[in-house]
């Protein structure tokens, strides 16, 4: 891998000369004597930039080997393998659990304090430079990749002085804190919106008029093309919208497809119980679906935004098992059964009010998520510049 041109006072040094690389404990290893059971980290615990301690398991180990496989505060954790785009993620262990071991699919890199800061190593491994190294060095299969301890030890660290490492880590930590704050805010806004939706719709339907969906929905069956030539729609789970289907295989010419129009309600028969509902967006004008994804024209007496909010609530779609036909893994809900099912319909002006309140909440969430995306992209660019020496930082002299 071609390295960037380094400043004169930077060096390129193999990781093995800057740290000790510790391999982990194999699960199922035969244990002699009187073993003890201790917490240990699995691959699932090591995420991109943080450690997930929500589920911690224990493993049996001989007392004499506890020190050998124990993590220490400041170890940088690397996973042996996983998704191709997640290779090279380094996470600093901060001694959250003591003692804590690690399995053999996790490497614990212990930097030498006089040469390399753990945070600096973690940032450089996660940068574009680091990820390229691990991706090019890895053994790859379909969507998965793995590295071994030799490849990890050979990672060419771009090494400035300790004070400069410290300053770079300090700057990037500031961005991390801003990203964390923005993430928490977006999460809180989403939770508040969900609570607001539940409250507004629950209150509205209490005074709603009893009817059935078929009163204001009409199934659309405008014949289109076939499975071999149709531009196809797919509906995402949990109310996440309708998108073009990326179908690499040619469909059958025997399967009939039907044209869908913007503003129609569409759902997946197979994933009705998983909230696969959407309004067809303008961007999918001219796209088609088979009868497995039925679509409906919505009466002018019903606000489409209100309707999709009603249908994509877990409280609604998880309670419709009685409409399903078929075996457990192939349960489908047919249009006729859906259209005949009951609903309490609020007045149109009340629907409009709810739709507008939730639209305002959506705009605020979108704004915060855009800010979060901007921060993340800016940090990525900053990492590339700072961690390769292209941009220098001012280091205060002692």
DSSP 8-state symbol, 203: H
Give me the pLDDT at residue 109, please: 96
The CATH number of the domain holding residue 72 is: 3.90.220.20
269 domain residue, yes or no = yes
Query: By residue range, what is the domain housing residue 312?
Result: 209-345
Ranges assigned E (strand) in 132-203: 139-141, 144-146, 156-159
350 domain residue, yes or no = no
Question: What separation, in Å, do the N-terminal and C-terminal C-alpha atoms of the chain show?
Answer: 36
Give me the pLDDT at residue 2, please: 63
| Shared-domain flag, residues 269 and 338 | yes
One digit per residue, the tens of pLDDT, for the chain of length 398 reads 566 789 999 999 999 999 999 998 888 777 777 789 999 999 888 888 889 899 999 998 888 888 999 999 999 999 887 776 667 667 899 999 999 999 988 999 999 999 999 999 999 999 999 989 988 888 877 677 788 889 999 999 999 999 999 999 999 999 999 999 999 999 999 999 999 999 999 999 999 999 999 999 999 999 999 888 889 999 999 999 999 998 756 677 788 999 999 999 999 999 999 999 999 999 999 999 999 999 999 999 999 999 999 999 999 999 999 999 988 778 999 999 999 999 999 999 999 999 999 999 999 999 999 999 999 999 999 999 999 999 998 887 65
Q: What total number of domains does the chain contain?
A: 2
What's the longest Cα–Cα distance across the chain?
Answer: 79
Q: 84-110 as b/e, with b when 16 or more CB fall inside 10 Å?
A: bebbbbbbbbeeeeebbbbbebbbbbb
Give me the pLDDT at residue 208, please: 96
174 domain residue, yes or no = no
| Shared-domain flag, residues 102 and 216 | no
194 domain residue, yes or no = no
Give me the pLDDT at residue 1, please: 58
Q: Report the alpha-carbon distance of residue 347 to residue 154 in Å, rounded.
A: 68
Give me the pLDDT at residue 86, please: 66
Q: Which whole-number Å values give the CA distances from 369 to 182, 183, 313, 374, 376, in the listed order? A: 8, 8, 22, 9, 10
173 domain residue, yes or no = no
Q: Report the alpha-carbon distance of residue 335 to residue 321 in Å, rounded.
A: 14
228 domain residue, yes or no = yes
| Shared-domain flag, residues 214 and 112 | no
| Shared-domain flag, residues 229 and 323 | yes
Q: Report the alpha-carbon distance of residue 157 to residue 336 in Å, rounded.
A: 63
| Shared-domain flag, residues 229 and 309 | yes
Scanning the structure block, which residue is given the tokens 């510049």? Answer: 385
Q: Report the alpha-carbon distance of residue 354 to residue 350 in Å, rounded.
A: 6
φ, ψ for residue 247 (rounded to 5)? -105, 105
319 domain residue, yes or no = yes
Beta bridge partners of 13: 157
What the block records as the tokens of 269 is 């028969």
| Shared-domain flag, residues 147 and 231 | no
CB neighbour list of residue 398: distance below 8 Å, 6 or more residues apart = none
| H or E, element range at 37 | strand 36-41
203 domain residue, yes or no = no
Q: Could you give the 3-state DSSP secondary structure of residue 64?
A: helix
| Shared-domain flag, residues 127 and 213 | no
| H or E, element range at 376 | helix 348-386
| Shared-domain flag, residues 110 and 213 | no
| Shared-domain flag, residues 138 and 26 | yes
């Amino acid at each position: 891998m071609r390295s960037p041109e380094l400043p004169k006072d930077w060096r390129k040094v193999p990781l093995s000369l800057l740290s000790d690389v510790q391999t982990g404990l194999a699960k199922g290893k035969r244990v002699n004597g009187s073993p003890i059971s201790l917490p240990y980290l699995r691959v699932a615990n090591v995420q991109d930039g943080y450690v997930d301690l929500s589920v911690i398991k224990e493993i049996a180990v001989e007392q004499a080997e506890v020190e050998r496989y124990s993590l220490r505060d400041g170890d940088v954790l690397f996973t042996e393998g996983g998704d191709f785009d997640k290779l090279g993620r380094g996470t600093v262990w901060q001694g959250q659990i003591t003692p804590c071991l690690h399995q053999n699919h996790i490497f614990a890199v212990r930097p030498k304090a006089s040469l390399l800061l753990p945070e600096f190593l973690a940032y450089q491994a996660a940068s574009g430079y680091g990820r390229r190294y691990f991706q090019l060095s890895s053994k790859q299969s379909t969507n998965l990749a793995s590295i071994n301890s030799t490849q990890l030890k050979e990672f060419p660290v771009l090494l400035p002085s300790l004070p400069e490492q410290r300053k770079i880590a300090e700057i990037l930590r500031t961005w991390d804190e801003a990203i964390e704050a923005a993430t928490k805010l977006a999460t809180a806004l989403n939770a508040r919106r969900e609570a607001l939706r539940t409250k507004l719709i629950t209150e509205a339907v209490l005074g709603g008029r009893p009817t059935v969906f078929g009163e204001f929905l009409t199934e659309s069956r405008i014949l289109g093309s076939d499975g071999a030539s149709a531009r196809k729609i797919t509906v995402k789970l949990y109310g996440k919208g309708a998108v073009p289907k990326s179908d690499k295989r040619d469909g059958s010419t025997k399967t009939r497809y039907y044209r869908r129009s913007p503003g129609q309600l569409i759902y997946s028969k197979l994933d009705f119980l998983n909230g696969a509902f959407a309004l067809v967006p303008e961007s999918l004008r001219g796209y088609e679906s088979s009868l497995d994804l039925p679509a409906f024209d919505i009466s002018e007496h019903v606000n489409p935004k209100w309707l999709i909010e009603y249908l994509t609530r877990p409280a609604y779609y998880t309670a419709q098992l009685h409409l399903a036909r078929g075996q457990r893994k192939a349960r489908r809900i047919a249009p006729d059964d859906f259209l005949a099912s009951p609903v309490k319909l609020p007045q149109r002006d009340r629907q409009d009010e709810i739709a507008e309140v939730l639209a305002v909440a959506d705009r605020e969430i979108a704004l915060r998520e855009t800010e979060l995306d901007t921060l993340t992209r800016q940090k990525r660019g900053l990492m590339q510049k700072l961690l390769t020496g292209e941009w220098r930082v001012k280091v205060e002299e002692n």
